[in-house]
Amino acid sequence: MGPVAMKALSVALLSFAALYATSASAQDREYCPERPGLDTPACTIAPGKISVETSIADWTRDDQPGSREDNILFGDTLVRVGVSDTIEARIGWTPFGHDRKRDSTGVDTVNGVGDVSLGMKANLLNPDGSGVSVSVLPFVTLPVGRSSIGAGDWGAGFLVPLTYELSDTVSLDLTPEIDAAVDQDGNGRHLAYSSTAGLAFKVAKDFTLTGEVQALRDNDPDQHATQALAALSLAWMANDDLQFDILGAAGLNDDTPDTRVYAGISRRF
């Protein structure tokens, strides 16, 4: 074999080794579920992997003068598929929801399915979430759900998740978001925007405690509102591919639902 052929073979072998190392590194990436919490982490799922993240039950209560509304979602699920080392495709759906509103006129109850969301997260820096990690996440929602469970029209949004590891046990999450949110009457869209910040603490080898705050401005034509929310969540990583979680959140002003509680499970395949 001549020198030119040997050089070409060496380059090919080195390229294959680099490609294999990159692939192996991606496959060895630690599982990074988006549950629980209000923030969206910047990490993406490794290529060829699938994450199924489901809320067993998600209850929100909103008390207003003269009325009370309870909304419960069952099986609210997000599926994330690793398409490349830095990109994941996403689909979300709520298979069943129950909404009950009680006021001076009586009780109104609605049961039905929720809307479908489609999105793509593209990581711009450190897809495994290490160090400083940044992503962009555009999404759309399709109005397949019933009123009170679904929004009633299509919507869209854009997030810029950012994660910064302050130490081996503490990380900071920031998630600014802007939406073309569906109007309250289910016909048309308006501007809504929010920002969420959180600190995650690894309190034990497999347990992570996260505290978060969120501020949201909703310019609905019927009524402009500013919401403020605080949340505390706990995640238990049972093994490398399985996580259980719980979350409790409280509204900080009159425009925000008073209470939200949920529990869920995430599994990587």
For 184-204, what is each residue's pLDDT tens digit? 999 999 999 999 999 999 999
User: Which residue in the block uniquely carries the two structure tokens 């910040």?
Assistant: 197
Least confident of 27-31, 50-54, 72-76: 27-31
Helix (H, G, I), strand (E, B) or coil at 221: coil
CATH class of 31-268: mainly beta
- Mean pLDDT, to the nearest integer, of 24-41? 84
Least confident of 67-76, 139-148, 233-242: 139-148
Q: Give the residue, 148 or 238, on which the prediction is more confident.
A: 238
Q: Quote the pTM value.
A: 0.87
- Mean pLDDT, to the nearest integer, of 152-157? 96
Q: Confidence band (pLDDT; 50, 70, 90) for 154?
A: very high
- Mean pLDDT, to the nearest integer, of 209-223? 96
Q: Confidence band (pLDDT; 50, 70, 90) for 25?
A: very low
Predicted local confidence at residue 148, as pLDDT? 76
- Separation between Cα atoms, residue 63 and residue 108, nearest integer Å: 15
Predicted local confidence at residue 28, as pLDDT? 76
Reference 32, options 128, 140, 97, 172; nearest CA is 128
Reference 33, options 201, 214, 265; nearest CA is 265
Reference 247, options 228, 230, 222; nearest CA is 230
Strand-pair category, 207-219 with 224-239: antiparallel
With a pLDDT cut of 90, the percent of the chain lying above it is: 83
- Separation between Cα atoms, residue 205 and residue 170, nearest integer Å: 13
Structural domain spans, the chain: 1-30, 31-268
